[in-house]
Amino acid sequence: MSSTAEPVRPIQLAEIEAARQRIAGIIVRTPLVRLELGPGFPDIRLKLENLQPINAYKLRGAANAVAMLPDAERRRGVWTISAGNAGQGVAYAARRAGVPCTVVVIDTAPTAKIERMKALGAKLVPVPFAVAWQAMEARTYPGIEGVFVHPFDDHDFIAGHGTMGLEILEDAPDTAAVIAGIGGGGLVTGLGSAIKALRPDIRVWGAEPETAAPAARSFAAGSPQAFPEWQPTFVDGAGGKSVFPRMWQRMRPVVDGSIVVTLEQTKRAMRLMAEKARVISEGAGALPLAAALTGETGPGPIVAIVSGGNIDLDKYCEILASASS
């Protein structure tokens, strides 16, 4: 079933604060921990969203978006499109609400994410990435019933992500920069909306892999751009084929730019978190640390959002073993 997109408008601080109260019984207030790297490195703190009940930040937005649906719509069930983390978030929120959930899932999603969505009771419809991306633009997919919850281009979803920004400013008021991975742009927009409302001096950056970096290209061009050379990699939770014009409209006022990192830098960041902080991060969750280590965002304090830890352990060990020390 299709969904009509409401007009884009700024995410207000009051909406983020209301979302915080609304989802308080579902999400975890995740810790912010310093990454001890020694002299010569930036001051980096890790916001551990991999510790959410679904091991990913998407629960914040999904819980708020599902809660904000009118009762009559919510009872019809919900559906979303996902590589795994948004699907888990919507499925978790739907299960809490006692309604069915369907996920149009990208067929290259890691087994760990697929099994978790199934365990949460979601009905899965696997499709190729290109089909999923087109369905996200069209906001419809044939034969699917229920209310569509967009995995990033949804006002209430984004407001839920903004709650993370409130926590960061409370726990680290000396923050100079915040970095979050960009897939569709919902996370960085939510963060930026909260942080810029309270502390406009703090820089808000995105991070993308070299194989899928349409946001960096868009900031360079000053308009939403496609990334036709997109390639699938182990960084399955970030990086898209394009920046949706609606998401560019949302991002541009509250995000300062996007930093592109190599796959090798991302692997090293995953390994560094495991060695120094005993943190398991999926590829997308390591992009912000990799970006912070480039030095492009200054000496800090820098908050790097570890957006998720949903990765097959065999694949994780393989990546860490192949990363240069």
Would the pLDDT of 276 be above 90?
A: yes
Residue 197: band (very low, low, confident or very high) from pLDDT cuts 50, 70, 90: very high
Kindly give the interhelix angle for 155-171 and 13-23, rounded to the nearest 10 degrees: 90
pLDDT of residue 168: 98
pLDDT of residue 43: 97
Q: What percent of the chain has pLDDT over 90?
A: 83
Q: In the predicted model, what is the mean pLDDT of residues 105-133?
A: 90
Q: Comparing 13-56+158-322 with 59-148, is the CATH topology the same?
A: yes
Rounded Cα distance between 187 and 50, Å, is 14
CATH 3.30.420.40 for domain 59-148: no
Would the pLDDT of 2 be above 70?
A: no
**What is the CATH T-level fold of the domain 13-56+158-322, as seen in this structure?**
Rossmann fold (3.40.50)
| Segment 292-319, tens digit of pLDDT | 999 999 998 999 999 999 999 999 999 9
Q: In the predicted model, what is the mean pLDDT of residues 170-193?
A: 97
Residue 203: band (very low, low, confident or very high) from pLDDT cuts 50, 70, 90: very high
- 43 with 299: CB under 8 angstroms? yes
What are the DSSP calls for 229-297, one per residue?
T----S-TTS--SB--HHHHHHHTTT--EEEEE-HHHHHHHHHHHHHHH-----HHHHHHHHHHHTTTT
pLDDT of residue 1: 52
For residue 126, which phi and psi values (nearest 5 degrees)? -75, 140
Domain edges within the chain: 13-56+158-322, 59-148
Would the pLDDT of 183 be above 60?
A: yes
- The mean of the pLDDT values for the chain is 94
pLDDT of residue 47: 98
Would the pLDDT of 224 be above 70?
A: yes
pLDDT of residue 145: 87
pLDDT of residue 3: 65
Residue 66: band (very low, low, confident or very high) from pLDDT cuts 50, 70, 90: very high
Residue 84: band (very low, low, confident or very high) from pLDDT cuts 50, 70, 90: confident
Would the pLDDT of 249 be above 90?
A: yes
Residues in the chain: 325
The order of strands in the sheet holding 78-82 is 123-127, 101-106, 78-82, 147-148
Rounded Cα distance between 325 and 307, Å, is 23
Would the pLDDT of 57 be above 70?
A: yes
Q: In the predicted model, what is the mean pLDDT of residues 102-124?
A: 90
Sign of the dihedral through C-alpha 24, 307, 7, 204: positive
pLDDT of residue 325: 65
